[in-house]
A and B are shown apart, each in its own frame.
Chain A
Amino acid sequence: MSGRSIAPTTRWLLRSNSALVIAFLYAPIILLAVYSFSGSRIPGEWGGFTTEWYARLFDDSRIQKTIGVSVRVALVSTVIATVLGTMSALALERFKFRGRRVFDALLYLPIIIPDVTMAVMMLMFFTQAFDLVDLLFGLGLSKGFATIVVSHVAFNIAFVSVVVRARIAGMDATLEQAAADLYANRWQAFRYVTLPLIAPGVLGGALLAITLSLDDVVVTQFVAGPGSTTLPVYVFSLIRKGVTPTINAVSVIMLLASLTLVAGSVALQRAQAVRGRTNSE
């Protein structure tokens, strides 16, 4: 490619294309960040530099509480969804069992169906389940932290499973057989051969899950209880009352958190690659 000369018109077209794409992607983010430092209450109007909105954010105990809920929900649901998603990916790729096809098809339903449908489904499920528990054990359960976690796990299993499955499909199954041939039992073969080889997929799936969990508004809104609301749901409710630069500030912080997550995972993978290389020298 590098050796070929490109006609000036083509080059110009390619350049403007890239410029447009970059503008579409990043202009809103830059605007968001810039106006989070604007002194004016009206969004989109520059009112001089200030960090007032950030200060307010840190004074607002309500926001801090929802951030806490969001993080805990994301961590717990990601761990559970990653374990279950990896297990179902392994089952689907490596074992033959009755009902495999049906399981395969049903597993991906959460990816396809609209968020709202998922939300209504979860809500109905919890209502019915709570009624049943109340009837059987006389326990009056209510929506809250646990219901959010369960719902997030429910849709994240599918995403984790898709990512991990791609990785397992690319892995040679005879490696596991070789491990078994070398006296490893099932667990050891998984622990020492399969898991290290699919780890990037598992990590990728977990990152996807944590991001989706932190982002989710629709499903969470339906299953959250009065005491426990996640940050995005809270922000959404704030917007209904009117957009304030506080929301910009919150968004910038969420954005930074996501960037840190991604950068962290990239750094982790780099470090592993470097370690791999030095080990082998």
Chain B
Amino acid sequence: MSLRAVSKHFDDVVAVDSVDLDIGDGEFFALLGPSGCGKTTTLRMIAGLEIPSAGSLKIFGSEVGPLPPNRRPVNTVFQNYALFPHMSVADNVGFGLRMSKTPKADVARRVSEAISLVRMGGMENRRPAQLSGGQQQRVALARALVNRPKVLLLDEPLAALDLKLRQEMQFELKQLQREVGITFVFVTHDQEEALALSDRIGVMDSGRLLQVGTPEEIYDAPVDRFVADFIGRSNFLAGTLEAHDRVCLANGDRVTVPSVADGVVSVGDAVQVSLRPERVMIDRAGAAPEGHASLEGEVATVTFLGNSIVYRVALDWMTIEVETDHRPDLDRHEVGDRVAMWWRDDAIAVVRP
């Protein structure tokens, strides 16, 4: 599936702004971003429920831009499931097959297969109102999967479930995707969910697709301050890119950085260095080993989280958050202590400010 310069405007609101995206066959792809960033709109354009204002949209090489939803090889699991309340579970699941004029005997067989695939056997005759949230979710999945679409679109399918059920369903969803081998495009605003489930993630903000990559790439090498901030926590040190692998920080220190990919930022640009709290080492002032970039400051707050401790360290030009394991062999620092902080050169990333 490929999107080229796809945009969607609602009157003067730009919901999706020139998105380019390729999604591979059989891939579990997550579209991640805060609410209102255009995820649903993107998904609805793929489903055919929204007509793109501009751009081209191809599925398996054929242009689907102008096709109505009933003529596309995709199926959707809606955010609120959208189960038909007046039909039984079996009738809900069989709806797509009946509409596409599948022979009756096949309908019955495939419906019961799909129902057992999502482990809803024995509930065929219930109405949606008689099911729990998790069960409704499974019926919605079965209703889409039974049609053997080439692409399955899921719009925050787990958002309405409580935490425990959500984790269970995440696992099941991943399992299911492996079993059926269909491309999943999964919309979520939950970064942990995206990291845990997907082969690749696309991060969106205000209609734009900022970065696409594997969960590790997105976490370790974000290219945009928004991406680094949205996924996990990060400190941002302002500076200027002096060479492709060196940044001059705002306090005048020079730090070595992993080489910056072309096209993200260029030498001479104002940039930010993203420094994950758990990647920063901390010790008494002066104890920083040679050969590392280091900063010194005073502990401003200490927060105990059980398995870890979070220090906020005040420098004279900014505050840095450091997260360390809570272990007996590590010194604990108190408010007011002078401390040194350092990191490996490959633990940081240069991002667009």
Partner-B contacts on A (CB < 8 A): 172, 174-175, 177-185, 188, 192-193, 196-197, 276, 279-281
Contact yes or no, B80 A280, CB < 8 A: no
- Cα distance A280–B74 in the bound complex, in angstroms: 30
Least distance between B126 CB and chain A CB atoms (Å): 6
**Given A172-B80, A174-B80, A280-B130, A181-B47 contact (CB < 8 Å):** yes
Contact yes or no, B88 A177, CB < 8 A: no
Contact yes or no, A179 B125, CB < 8 A: no
Contact yes or no, B99 A188, CB < 8 A: yes
**14 chain-A/chain-B pairs, Cβ below 8 angstroms:** A172-B80, A177-B49, A178-B76, A180-B68, A181-B48, A181-B69, A181-B70, A181-B74, A181-B76, A182-B70, A182-B75, A183-B147, A185-B70, A197-B86
Cβ contacts under 8 Å, A182 to chain B: 70, 75, 95-96, 99, 143-144, 147
Contact yes or no, B70 A175, CB < 8 A: no
Task: Name which residue of chain B comes closest to A177, CB basis.
Answer: B49
Contact yes or no, A174 B100, CB < 8 A: no
Contact yes or no, A280 B96, CB < 8 A: no
Q: A-B pairs with the 8 shortest C-beta distances? A: A182-B96, A178-B82, A183-B99, A180-B69, A174-B82, A183-B70, A184-B99, A183-B100
Size category of the B interface is 20 to 34
Task: Name which residue of chain A comes closest to B74, CB basis.
Answer: A181
Least distance between B336 CB and chain A CB atoms (Å): 57
Is B268 close to A, CB under 8 A? Answer: no
For chain B, residues 125 to 154, give those with C-beta under 8 angstroms from any C-beta of chain A: 125-127, 130, 143-144, 147
Cβ contacts under 8 Å, A279 to chain B: 88, 125, 127
- Cα distance A276–B130 in the bound complex, in angstroms: 12
- Cα distance A181–B140 in the bound complex, in angstroms: 12
Contact yes or no, B125 A280, CB < 8 A: yes
Q: A180-B49, A180-B69, A181-B74 are in contact. List 12 more A-B contacts (CB 8 A).
A: A178-B76, A178-B84, A181-B49, A181-B75, A183-B96, A183-B99, A184-B70, A185-B70, A279-B88, A280-B126, A280-B130, A281-B125
Cβ contacts under 8 Å, B181 to chain A: none
In-complex Cβ contact of B82 among A177, A184, A276, A280 (8 A):
A177
**Given A181-B49, A281-B125, A175-B84 contact (CB < 8 Å):** yes
Contact yes or no, A172 B100, CB < 8 A: no
Cβ contacts under 8 Å, B71 to chain A: 183
Least distance between B140 CB and chain A CB atoms (Å): 9
Is B85 close to A, CB under 8 A? Answer: yes
Is B78 close to A, CB under 8 A? Answer: yes
**Given A181-B69, A183-B70, A175-B96 contact (CB < 8 Å):** no
Task: Name which residue of chain B comes closest to A174, CB basis.
Answer: B82
Partner-A contacts on B (CB < 8 A): 47-49, 68-71, 74-76, 78, 80, 82-86, 88, 95-96, 99-100, 125-127, 130, 143-144, 147
Cβ contacts under 8 Å, A177 to chain B: 49, 69, 78, 82
In-complex Cβ contact of A280 among B47, B88, B95 (8 A):
B88
CB-based A-B contact count at 8 angstroms: 69
- Cα distance A279–B88 in the bound complex, in angstroms: 8
- Cα distance A178–B78 in the bound complex, in angstroms: 8
Task: Name which residue of chain B comes closest to A277, CB basis.
Answer: B127
- Cα distance A196–B75 in the bound complex, in angstroms: 23
Residue among A175, A180, A184, A196 facing the most chain B CB atoms (10 A cut-off)? A180
Task: Name which residue of chain A comes closest to B155, CB basis.
Answer: A174
Cβ contacts under 8 Å, A181 to chain B: 47-49, 69-70, 74-76
Least distance between A196 CB and chain B CB atoms (Å): 5
Cβ contacts under 8 Å, A188 to chain B: 99
- Cα distance A276–B99 in the bound complex, in angstroms: 23
Least distance between B303 CB and chain A CB atoms (Å): 43
Least distance between A100 CB and chain B CB atoms (Å): 15
- Cα distance A196–B127 in the bound complex, in angstroms: 15
Cβ contacts under 8 Å, B70 to chain A: 180-185
- Cα distance A182–B48 in the bound complex, in angstroms: 12
- Cα distance A179–B96 in the bound complex, in angstroms: 8
Task: Name which residue of chain B comes closest to A276, CB basis.
Answer: B127
Cβ contacts under 8 Å, B84 to chain A: 175, 178-179, 193
Least distance between B116 CB and chain A CB atoms (Å): 20
Residue among B48, B69, B85, B143 facing the most chain A CB atoms (10 A cut-off)? B69
- Cα distance A182–B87 in the bound complex, in angstroms: 15
Cβ contacts under 8 Å, B69 to chain A: 177, 180-181
- Cα distance A182–B91 in the bound complex, in angstroms: 12
Cβ contacts under 8 Å, B99 to chain A: 179, 182-185, 188
Cβ contacts under 8 Å, A280 to chain B: 88, 125-127, 130
Least distance between A98 CB and chain B CB atoms (Å): 15
Least distance between B3 CB and chain A CB atoms (Å): 19
Cβ contacts under 8 Å, A184 to chain B: 70, 95, 99
Residue among B48, B82, B143 facing the most chain A CB atoms (10 A cut-off)? B82
Cβ contacts under 8 Å, A197 to chain B: 85-86
Task: Name which residue of chain B comes closest to A185, CB basis.
Answer: B70
Least distance between B48 CB and chain A CB atoms (Å): 8
Task: Name which residue of chain B comes closest to A189, CB basis.
Answer: B70
Cβ contacts under 8 Å, A276 to chain B: 86, 127
- Cα distance A281–B124 in the bound complex, in angstroms: 10
Task: Name which residue of chain A comes closest to B80, CB basis.
Answer: A174
Least distance between B149 CB and chain A CB atoms (Å): 9
Residue among A178, A192, A193 facing the most chain B CB atoms (10 A cut-off)? A178
- Cα distance A106–B49 in the bound complex, in angstroms: 31
